[in-house]
Amino acid sequence: MDAYDEDSRGPQGPDGPPGTRLPDGPAQPPPAPPADAPGPRTGLAALSPGYQAGAALALAVVAVAACVHLLMVFLSLAPANTVTKQHGKAIEEWVYPEFEQNWKLFAPNPLQQNIAVQVRAEVRMRDGDLRTTGWTDLSAQDGAAIDGNLAPSHTQQNELRRAWDFFTATHAADNRPVGLRGSLSEQYLRRIAVMRLYRDDPTSREGVIQRVQIRSSTTNVQPPSWSRERVSDKPVLRLLPWWSVTADEAAGGVR
Tally of structural domains, the chain: 2
Q: Per-residue pLDDT tens for 64-110? A: 999 999 998 888 888 888 888 888 888 888 888 777 776 655 555 66
Question: Is residue 118 located within the same domain as residue 235?
Answer: yes
Residue ranges for the chain with pLDDT beneath 70: 1-39, 44, 102-111, 252-255
Taking residue 194's Cβ as centre, other Cβ atoms within 10 Å add up to 24
2 within a domain of the structure (yes/no): no
Range of the domain at 194: 104-146+153-251
12 within a domain of the structure (yes/no): no
DSSP annotation of 140: H
Global confidence as pTM: 0.58
123 within a domain of the structure (yes/no): yes
Question: Is residue 126 located within the same domain as residue 194?
Answer: yes
Question: Is residue 71 located within the same domain as residue 132?
Answer: no
Question: Is residue 170 located within the same domain as residue 191?
Answer: yes
34 within a domain of the structure (yes/no): no
How much is the pLDDT for 56?
87
Looking at the chain, how many residues does it have? Answer: 255
Angstrom distance (rounded) from CA 200 to CA 61 = 37
3 state DSSP class of 171: strand
Cβ neighbours of residue 220 closer than 8 Å, sequence gap 6 or more: 112, 113, 114, 231, 232, 233
Question: Is residue 165 located within the same domain as residue 246?
Answer: yes
